[in-house]
Amino acid sequence: MTAQSSPSARAEAFAEQGSPLYLLGLDQSLQILSADRRFAQAFSFDGELVGRRLDELFSPSDRLGVADFYGGLTRYQSGFLDVLVSLRLGSADHHTRLRMRLEGQSWLAFIEPVGGPGCAVHNLLLSREWWRTVVRDATDGIAVVAPDTRIVEHNPRFLELLRPRSTHGVALSEESIAGKPLFERVAGSSFAPVEEAMRAAKPRSRRFSGRIVHGNLHLQVSLTPILVPARGFTGCSLVLRDLTAEEEVAQLRARIAREAGMSEVATGVLHNVGNALNSVNVSSQVLAEMARASKAQSLGKAAAMFEEHQGDLGAFLTGDPKGQRLPGFLKSLAAHLQGEREALLQEVSKLQQNVEHIKSIIAAQQTYSRSSLYLETLSLRSVVDTALAVNVLKATRSDIRVVVECGDFPQVELDRHRVLQILVNLLSNARHAVQSAEKPVKEIRVKAELSGNLVRVSVADNGAGVPDEARPRIFEHGFTTKKSGHGFGLHSSAIAAREMGGSLTFHSDGPGQGATFILEVPVRCGARAAEEGGPR
């Protein structure tokens, strides 16, 4: 058989030799000019082949094989065009290997039926169909992109997410993007990082994975090089995952968390301010009672007597019984008023401390986003005493026995108002716990000690204790064991302890056995701070 043999002669020669290949002769437009006489029998086809176009025989269900054929035809220069494609002959599809070679002005097409299970080509076609079935129904957009960025294959979801458009902004159909460069069909620059990764000098080492915003979609993009043995880099797989719903949920959660945080901050501020206001209220009541019971009006009566006896003041003071008692009365009144003045000054001082504490709570929240800790060198005992005063636990009329153990404590660096806020909350809870317990002796013990760079302050009471079911939730926001409680104090105290790099823990042997809360905060001693250059 020579190169000058006609396609018909070659087909007859193939038939005589019993070749497993079936030869078709085609013109340049792929119209069939001649056909192997065995073809119809081998494929159970009783129609006329001559005069039909070869691509009319392609199965419409084999999009991948047809795409390979037309892609190869476009790139063909010499040698063989070799593809796997299904032919629909009659009502059945036949898997075949199609090899075509251009000789002069005509094509020679060699068609080889693919065998059944066990045949390598059959297994290859089966794998391809499996891949297509899985990919076609995937919820992710999946495509195979050639090295020159042409779209070789894609599933329907890929087209939905890609939203290809013409240069005039008109939506493009699936047929209009087949075999076309990917990035020429995507409006905007959202895929710029993907294109850069694809066009990299060494794409096999440039796997791209990241998020992009494409229109109103949030997409997770994964670009993976496809490496084939003996051929190397042959393109990339491109996977688009729609994260729009997840992004919306994340934004909603962030907004809810932000609003919850704002609410938590507000309730924490109100709770801490409320504790201080309780003491303000007590101080104001004491001041009102002292003002009503003041002996100052007696001084007015004495002044009236002096004015009444201006003319005979000497005789009045020496001869009149009332006048004789007046100097002693004035001396006693002076002493009483002096004591009254000192008591008033003490209550005013408490009132000022609590007002200052309220101002600090509000100022701390106002500057929270700009500051961390405000350290100052101070006496821890003074902070403990202030916390006791806020809770009215130092008043002589309190029926609670308070024991404070601070010992010989050096000056330390602390965030005064955070520590004060925690101790006020702990003492408030301890006061309520002992008041609700039916015990003859109600006691609260406050102990402060220094261990290395840690200050440990414990507040223990012999009150109601903590039930077992409440232990896991004791610091939870909104949880409380008090009938009139809100569950903000311990939660905000635990947060304040963490903000200072410390911790707040507790221990209780159970209901009726009291509870001990322990605050541990890292500090620097005042003397050490002075050596290092003073307070920060």
- Asked if 355 and 276 sit in the same domain, the reply is yes
Tokens 């919820």 belong to residue:
139
Which residues are CB-contacts of 92 (< 8 A; sequence separation ≥ 6)?
Answer: 44
- Helices assigned H by DSSP within 30-116: 39-42, 63-75
Alpha carbon of residue 311 to chain centroid: 89
Q: Is residue 129 part of a domain?
A: no
- Asked if 147 and 168 sit in the same domain, the reply is yes
Tell me which of 61, 96, 123 is where a domain ends: 123
The end-to-end CA distance of the chain, in Å, is 99
Strands 454-461 and 412-414: unpaired
Q: Is residue 272 part of a domain?
A: yes
Q: Is residue 494 part of a domain?
A: yes
- Asked if 117 and 160 sit in the same domain, the reply is no
Q: How far is residue 376's CA from residue 354's CA, in Å, rounded to a whole number?
A: 19
- Asked if 316 and 349 sit in the same domain, the reply is yes
The predicted structure's pLDDT at residue 30: 93
Partners of 506 in the β-ladder: 517
Half-sphere exposure of 526 (CA within 13 A, CB side): 9
Return the closest-CA partner of residue 536 out of 396, 408, 377, 298.
Answer: 377
**pLDDT tens-place values along the chain, 536 residues long:** 444 466 666 666 665 666 678 888 999 999 999 888 888 777 877 778 889 999 999 988 887 788 889 888 888 888 899 988 889 887 888 888 899 999 888 999 999 887 666 666 667 777 767 777 777 788 899 888 888 888 877 888 888 888 776 666 667 676 666 667 777 766 556 777 777 777 764 555 557 788 888 878 888 988 888 887 777 778 888 899 998 888 777 777 766 666 665 565 666 666 667 666 777 777 777 777 777 777 777 777 777 877 777 778 777 777 788 777 778 877 887 787 787 788 888 778 777 777 777 776 666 655 544 445 677 888 888 888 888 877 766 554 468 899 999 877 778 888 888 888 899 889 988 988 998 888 888 999 999 998 888 899 999 999 989 888 888 888 887 777 776 666 678 888 888 888 888 999 999 988 889 999 999 999 865 433 334 444 33
- Asked if 525 and 406 sit in the same domain, the reply is yes
Which amino acid is present at 92? A
CATH number (domain holding residue 39): 3.30.450.20
Tell me which of 123, 149, 173 is where a domain ends: 123
Q: How far is residue 517's CA from residue 387's CA, in Å, rounded to a whole number?
A: 15
- Asked if 46 and 145 sit in the same domain, the reply is no
Q: Is residue 2 part of a domain?
A: no
Q: Is residue 463 part of a domain?
A: yes
Q: Which token pair is 88?
A: 């629909």
Domain count for the chain: 4
The predicted structure's pLDDT at residue 331: 80
Q: How far is residue 496's CA from residue 276's CA, in Å, rounded to a whole number?
A: 17
pTM above 0.85, yes or no: no
- Asked if 408 and 528 sit in the same domain, the reply is yes
Return the closest-CA partner of residue 242 out of 131, 175, 161, 319.
Answer: 161
Q: Which token pair is 526?
A: 């005042």
- Asked if 416 and 363 sit in the same domain, the reply is no
Domain that holds residue 407: 372-536
- Asked if 367 and 391 sit in the same domain, the reply is no
Q: Which token pair is 113?
A: 């039926």
- Asked if 424 and 486 sit in the same domain, the reply is yes
Tell me which of 317, 336, 371 is where a domain ends: 371
The predicted structure's pLDDT at residue 269: 65
Q: Is residue 144 part of a domain?
A: yes
| Cβ proximity of 193 and 210 under 8 Å | yes
- Asked if 178 and 82 sit in the same domain, the reply is no
Q: How far is residue 257's CA from residue 130's CA, in Å, rounded to a whole number?
A: 45
Q: Is residue 473 part of a domain?
A: yes
Q: How far is residue 183's CA from residue 496's CA, in Å, rounded to a whole number?
A: 53
- Asked if 405 and 432 sit in the same domain, the reply is yes
Burial class (CB in 10 A: 0-12, 13-18, 19+), 525: middle
Q: Is residue 56 part of a domain?
A: yes
Alpha carbon of residue 83 to chain centroid: 50
Which residues are CB-contacts of 163 (< 8 A; sequence separation ≥ 6)?
Answer: 171, 187, 214, 215
